[in-house]
Homo-oligomer: A and B are copies of this chain.
Amino acid sequence: MLDEVDVHILDLLQTETRLSNLELSQRVNLSAPATHARVKRLEQEGYIDSYTAILNQEKLGYDLLCTVFMSTSIHQTQELNELEHRLSEMPEVMECYCMTGSFDYMLKTIHRSRKELEAFIRELNQLGVSQLQTSIVLREVKASTVLPLRK
């Protein structure tokens, strides 16, 4: 179970990840070793999935962010797993969700150019897709990975 200090640590980790263990310990009013042990415990118990560097999409030439809604004609579990596996392996697919609503899946995909997007959509179509609806992101208003722990 998590106490108040654990939540405080998690919240600091997801917003100010670069804090040293010493600074972190000062923020939560604990000694450095005690703080360190807690962080390790939180990692161990699966409260922290991963640490990651968020790269700048624009600077790296990825200017085309899309949402793709798709449905499939597949209904057998085995084949569905296969489909999902293939989707997961595609590097352009950043997120893939199974959804309520009129489509089976929603994808968030990223591309360098219209040409690459077109190639990607063609690739998708060869996967047993019955319907596809692609929209393009005009502007990113907010893109965060932070959970509202402190709300």
> Which residues of A approach B to under 8 Å, CB–CB?
10, 13-15, 17-18, 45-57, 59-60, 62, 65, 67, 84, 87-88, 91-101, 105-106, 110, 135-151
Partner of A138, one of B17, B53, B99: B99
In the complex, the count of this chain's copies comes to 2
Whether A94 contacts B146 in the complex (CB less than 8 A), given A18-B51, A52-B54, A54-B51, comes out as yes
Roughly how many angstroms separate A76 CA and B138 CA in the complex, as a whole number? 18
Q: Which residue of B lies closest to A101 (CB)?
A: B135
**Nearest-neighbor residue (CB-CB) of A99 within chain B:** B135
Most chain B Cβ neighbours within 10 Å, of A84, A142, A146? A142
A145 to B91, CA, bound (A): 11
Q: How far is the CA of A146 from the CA of B88 in the complex (A)?
A: 12
Considering only CB atoms, which chain B residue lies closest to A136 in the complex? B100
**Contact indicator A139/B51 (Cβ below 8 Å):** no
A6 to chain B, nearest CB (A): 10
CB distance from A129 to the nearest CB of B (A): 14
